[in-house]
Amino acid sequence: MLLSGFLYALWGIIAVSFQLAITVNSYSTNYHGFWTGPILIVGGILMMVVGFRPAFPLAQLIRMYYTGLTVSAVGLIVSIINYSMSNQCTSMTYSYCDDSLVSNLKISLVIIFGCALIHTILNMVYISKQQKQAISTSIPNVTN
């Protein structure tokens, strides 16, 4: 839980940093890194707080992961759309195009959100297995 929280917070900080670099070096008007990054940071901090607690309801943890899944998926989709619709600079164009730095930063955002999405899916599978195991061991079998 602590490692997951740290990774979410780190990915959020990187997403905000990359979006800032894209905004400074480009004419981009898509600022999805500025709103998805802080959500990942807050989610990461909350997961680290949960990691320090001795007990926490798994149902609430799954809701946190659904939020992370949604934010990561939306960030990934918007990043892919933003990258695919951007114009690459050529020798003939000088304005309203993305140079190689901005293109690489946009690809990096796609990778960051892809990693966050995969990590969230893996965490959700693990937590749901843990929840099923906890339910099966806590409820005694009742026979008629």
Q: What is the CA radius of gyration of the chain?
A: 20
Predicted confidence (pLDDT) per residue in 59-104, tens digit: 778 888 888 899 899 999 998 988 888 777 766 656 667 778 888 8
Mean predicted confidence (pLDDT) in 100-119 = 90
Q: What is the pLDDT of residue 90?
A: 67
Q: Are 68 and 8 in contact (CB under 8 A)?
A: yes
Structure pTM? 0.81
| CB within 8 Å of 75: residues ≥ 6 apart | 15, 32, 33, 36, 109, 113, 116
The identity of residue 40, as a single letter, is L
